[in-house]
Structure 1
Amino acid sequence: MTQQRHNWAVRIITETLVGLVPGAAETDTKVIVERPHIAPCGGRDTWSGSPSGVAERIAAALYGVGGQSPLEAAEAAKRARDLGGEVAALMAAEAALKAAPWYPSRAGDLVHVHYDATTAGSDAFGETYVVEADDAHPGELQLRLLHHTAKDDTLAGCFAPAETPDEPLYQLWFEAGAHLLTIVRNGRVVHDGRYA
């Protein structure tokens, strides 16, 4: 559902941007965003890109990064030499995490992450973690792996870190992606990645 919303939004935003210039086609349209400098320096700071590139950024900010984790989106932008896109993907993900109505996580929260089968031959599998107090660091929380369905034990449990982060779900949110997470608090689903 998130991917469909994302794709739908990209298409609508792209068509709207191209439609700003009567008779224009997407292939010959460029979006320029500029900020003039205040006198006496003059000059301008500018950014330019394709309408679909702008639409991707807007849709990612509104609906998350489609079927990609923030880390994957940032790496894709880095490969495309789009520093702004790389930073935007990471900042939008952090903002989305902190704006979630269930944030911050609490002791007792259950977090399930689903992984699709990969082209490298790995079967689909899931992991379930619990957020709990960290005995080694009083007042802090950590993730502990409860169960997994991976055929290979080495694939499971990588998000139960040895060092406690400020937010135990931070690494999961960025590396796996919100679209793959289901978070349960007090027996109720508070985040369903398919629809969040």
Structure 2
Amino acid sequence: MMRRSVELEIITEALQTGSGNNRRRADFIWGRARGASHTAGAEGNVWAADVHDVALHIVTRLYGRPDTTPEASPLVQAEQAKRLRDIDGEVAARLDAAVGLASAPWYPARPGDLVHVAYEQAGDMPPFGETYIVDDAGDNLMGLQLLAHTLPKTVAGLDAETTAAMVGFFSSEASDEPLYEAWYEAGPHRLTIVRDGRPVHIGGAR
């Protein structure tokens, strides 16, 4: 999610919880028109607004409308452009992926880097993650080796052998760019990269 969406969450929570002694969680904000009578039977002067709508209005006035477009990997973007017969868009998606990776402040990858790929739930496939390590393959090349994954041994009736074949897709013995396939196919928003114990890229960070 983008930064403005974080602010939307903060403002929504603030409106829901109130302040002072009024700490009850609320889904609506109630008010009375200015100058309206406080006597019984003046219901027509009372208004209510959904907390989320009010928060969105505030964020939009301050920062512009939040971007709620789902993130997609460069591969998905290229495939979408191809289906639309948009050759320029397809080429741009491929080039942008290479440029985005090469321009990252932590680039290039180094032996010892840990790379975690997070997958969302898809149909009967549960969400899971894979962790790889970059290693020195010699001759100025690097490999990407699978260290661990969280995919259950059996998924939606699949046997263990079939399930095991569904992980380690981005492993490589030797490459001059061991992270490109994961960056392009899974997408940078699904990757978390740790170097010397510190995260240098956190995909999808709020």
- The match for 2:191 is 181
Are the equivalent residues in 2 in contact too, given 1:109–1:186 (CA < 8 A)? yes
Matched letter for residue 138 of structure 1: D
Provide the C-alpha distance between the structure 2 equivalents of 1:185 and 1:68, rounded to a whole number of angstroms: 25
**Residue 10 (structure 1) aligns with:** none
* TM-score of the superposed pair, with normalisation by structure 2: 0.61
Aligned 8 A contact 1:131 1:141 in 2: yes
Report the secondary structure of 1:117's partner residue.
coil
Aligned mate of 2:164, from 147, 153, 157: 153
Letter paired with 1:123? P
1:71 corresponds to 2:75: yes
Residue 145 (structure 2) aligns with: 144
Partner of 1:129: 132
The alpha-carbon deviation at position 165 of structure 1 amounts to 2.2
Q: Is the 1:183–1:191 contact (alpha carbons within 8 Å) kept by the matching residues of 2?
A: yes
Give 5+ residue unaligned stretches, structure 2: 6-66, 153-162
Residue matched to 1:36: none
How many angstroms does 1:66 deviate by?
A: 5.1
Q: In the alignment, which residue of structure 1 is the partner of 2:92?
A: 88
Q: Does 1:169 align with 2:179?
A: yes
Whether the 8 Å CA contact 2:140–2:176 is kept in 1: the answer is no
Find the residue that maps to 1:141 and give its secondary structure. Answer: strand
Q: Considering only CA atoms, is the larger Rg found in Structure 1 or Structure 2?
A: 2
Q: CA deviation at 1:158?
A: 0.8
Decide whether aligned partners of structure 1 residues 66 and 3 sit closer, same or farther in structure 2, where only a CA change above 3 A counts.
Answer: farther
Question: What TM-score do the two structures reach when normalised by structure 1?
Answer: 0.64
**Counterpart AA for 1:127:** E
Deviation of 1:157 (Å) = 0.4
Deviation at 1:161, TM superposition (A): 2.2
Mapped contact 1:2–1:179 kept (Cα < 8 A): no
Distance 1:81 1:130 in 2: 38
Gaps of 5+ in 1: 6-62
